[in-house]
Amino acid sequence: MADHSHPTVLMNDGGKIPVIGFGTYAPEYIPVSLSEQATEVAIEVGFRHIDGAHLYQNEKEVGRAIQKKIADGTVKREDLFYTGKPGGDLIPMDENGKAQLDTTTDLCAIWEAMERCKDAGLVKSIGVSNFNRRQIEKILNKHGLKYKPVCNQVECQPYLNQSKLLEFCKTKDILLTAYSVLGSHRHRDWVDQNYPVLLEDPVLAEIGKKYNKTPANIAIRYQIQRGVVPITKSYNPDRIKENFKVFDFELTPEDMKTLDGMNRNLRYVDIPLFSDHPEYPLHDEY
């Protein structure tokens, strides 16, 4: 039986979030039923932070996996931290399906709706995803703000280490949570086929040899030691298990400096649905 204990981080609302999460997004070619199986494996291995979204179209399957693991005694509900993301129905669209989001008005209205969910006990914490510095400041400066965002989930990996956004979020006591921490597969239509494969980088391989760890382990541990909460994703049971093996070693300051040097501001993930909007978050530097 795996050791199911691992550290948590205190959020600005007093709640605690496990320092590593399991991502449930899957590309279209993955049968949705595998979401259920993979989530079960993740919980059995020791993951206690499950990251989902309406957009992933597998919330029912992920929910069934969680229910199974509670029913068989592997975990209690209070052991688990589940991150959900509402559907696109919260974002105004025009007749052509274009996003019509006025971040001064609609963004604050959405945030107020989430605050009401927290007041009603429907959610324990509220965060944001893919927000840049300016957009976070709009929330923080909103008149009558009741709850600060506890986190901002963005792409963050050694080729895009988000150092400026990370430091800004730290000054506001907002956690940075990271997706695509291991890069992204080239077969996805939003990934440039000429981009390098992160896990094939010799720097990760060389540091991994020192600790008898995989390049993925090094990329994940790097984020944890920076104070970032990484979301790892795999549908392969062996890789799910391997990705959790990051608590029995520690990178040296020299290792961390070397990994910092891998940054090249290379972003694997784009958000094409909103790219023509003036408030598209990735237009800003950070």
Instruction: Cite the active site residues.
Output: 56
* CA atoms of 21 and 41, how far apart (whole Å): 13
Residue type, 160: L
* CA atoms of 124 and 14, how far apart (whole Å): 10
Specify the 3-state DSSP secondary structure of 231. Answer: strand
Whole-angstrom CA distances from 111 to 86, 124, 139, 165 are 12, 14, 8, 21
Q: Which residues contact 20 (CB under 8 A, 6 or more apart)?
A: 6, 47, 49, 220, 224, 229, 230, 231, 232, 244, 246
* CA atoms of 18 and 49, how far apart (whole Å): 6
CB atoms within 10 A of CB 128: 21
* CA atoms of 199 and 240, how far apart (whole Å): 15
The sign of the dihedral angle between the CA atoms of 241, 247, 249, 251 is positive
* CA atoms of 219 and 266, how far apart (whole Å): 15
